[in-house]
């Protein structure tokens, strides 16, 4: 039996975002694959249920149900439960999938499709089921989807916002920055908002359609997390009302400590999540 993985751990954020009352799981079909950069592959999935899919936040994530050697089957057209993990556990053990969590990069209800951008980590310890699946994904492949939630939820009146991401959180950050309404009922990132992004190489730098000041930090031969001390460069932290910090777990821990230091952002106004941990297999 393949162990089921828990939701990405969101350690704290200002107020709980809207959440679903029930979660659906259903089959989807790969209809297109596109390499955006040498490390980022976009996979387009189609399923009838995606026509009425409701996005909760701009950084909505879902569970990609990766088929094992026995394939994957969903009883009936779909199954529902009170949690994403619970809905996956309803799948017969012989077809029980591996779960990995990804952001919905784009949603097209009219064609019942979503795009998901997946980082390709190559072989070895750095790779994992999600990266391996995306590397070999082809149109016509079957995969499962279990609905999830989003976590971006700025506090009221948070015009100046601070973002920090690595390449694994890049799709979620871009979704927030390019969304017309990233958090319904909440303010958009306004004047003075800054996004810091650490990526492995210049090839990973991409255009983002946003008015937010985006600062790229290319790691090259530097150690993962080299950019953390730079996230406050030129920033009047006292004027930042909300921070969204999502990256490798240790990077997030260090970034949160800096941001919430004396005169900094209130801990209750910080959303942060470790997407992966250095030295362990990634999604």
CA R_g for the chain: 18
Q: 223 φ, ψ to 5°?
A: -75, 150
Tell me the pairing of strands 161-166 and 194-199: parallel
Q: How many CB atoms lie within 10 A of CB 39?
A: 19
For the record, the structure tokens of 217 come out as 């930090």
How buried is residue 198: exposed, middle or buried, by Cβ count under 10 Å (0-12/13-18/19+)? Answer: buried
Q: Round to whole Å and give the CA distance between 212 and 38.
A: 25
Pick from 26, 22, 66: nearest CA to 46: 26
Copy the structure tokens of residue 196.
């810091």
pLDDT score for 90: 86
What whole-number distance in Å separates Cα of residue 107 and Cα of residue 223? 35
**So what's the pLDDT on residue 2?**
33
The structure's pTM equals 0.88
**Per-residue pLDDT tens digits for 191-212:** 889 999 999 999 999 999 999 9
Task: Please tell me the total number of residues recorded for the chain in this structure.
Answer: 283
Place of tokens 């199954």: 79
Give the model confidence (pLDDT) of 16-28 as tens digits.
Answer: 456 787 899 999 9
Beta strands in 13-135 (DSSP E): 23-37, 40-46, 61-66, 79-81, 98-103, 106-108, 113-119
Q: Write the secondary structure of 227-283 as one string of H (helix), E (strand) and C (coil).
A: CHHHCCCCCCHHHCCEEEEEEEHHHHHHHHHHHCCCCCCCHHHEEEEEEECCCCCCC
CA distance 63 to 43: 14
For the chain, which domains are there? 10-146 (2.40.30.10), 161-276 (3.40.50.80)
Q: What is the pLDDT of residue 166?
A: 96
| Cα–Cα dist 240/192, whole Å | 9
Full pLDDT tens readout for the chain, 283 residues: 333 333 344 434 444 456 787 899 999 999 999 999 999 999 999 999 999 998 888 999 999 999 988 888 888 788 998 887 888 888 877 778 889 999 999 999 999 999 999 999 764 435 688 999 999 999 999 999 999 988 898 988 888 999 999 999 999 999 999 998 888 878 789 888 999 999 999 999 999 999 999 999 999 999 999 999 999 888 887 789 999 999 999 999 999 999 998 888 999 999 999 988 876 654 4
- Measured between alpha carbons, how far is 17 from 15 in angstroms, rounded to an integer? 6
């Amino acid at each position: 039996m393949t162990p089921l993985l828990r939701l990405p751990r969101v350690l704290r954020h200002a107020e709980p975002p809207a959440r679903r009352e029930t979660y659906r799981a259903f089959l989807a079909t790969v209809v297109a694959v596109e390499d955006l950069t040498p490390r980022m592959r976009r996979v387009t999935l189609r399923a009838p249920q995606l026509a009425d899919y409701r996005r909760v936040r701009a950084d909505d994530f879902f569970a990609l149900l990766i088929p094992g050697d026995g394939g994957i089957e969903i009883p009936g057209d779909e199954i529902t439960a009170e949690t994403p993990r619970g809905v996956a556990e309803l799948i017969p053990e012989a077809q029980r999938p591996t779960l990995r969590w990804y952001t919905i990069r784009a949603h097209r209800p009219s064609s019942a499709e979503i795009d998901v951008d997946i980082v390709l980590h190559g072989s070895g310890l750095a790779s994992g089921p999600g990266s391996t699946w995306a590397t070999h994904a082809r149109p016509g492949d079957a995969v499962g989807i279990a609905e999830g939630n989003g976590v971006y939820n700025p506090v009221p009146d948070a015009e100046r916002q601070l973002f920090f991401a690595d390449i694994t959180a890049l799709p979620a950050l871009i979704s927030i920055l390019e969304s017309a309404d990233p958090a319904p009922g909440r303010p958009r990132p306004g004047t003075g908002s800054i996004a810091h992004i650490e990526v492995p190489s210049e090839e990973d730098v991409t255009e983002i359609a946003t008015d937010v000041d985006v600062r790229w930090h290319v790691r090259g031969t530097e150690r993962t997390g080299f950019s953390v001390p730079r996230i406050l460069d030129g920033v009047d932290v006292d004027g930042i009302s909300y921070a969204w910090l999502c990256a490798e777990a240790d990077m997030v821990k260090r970034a949160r400590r800096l941001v919430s230091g004396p005169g900094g952002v209130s801990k209750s106004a910080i959303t942060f999540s470790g997407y992966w941990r250095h030295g362990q297999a990634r999604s």
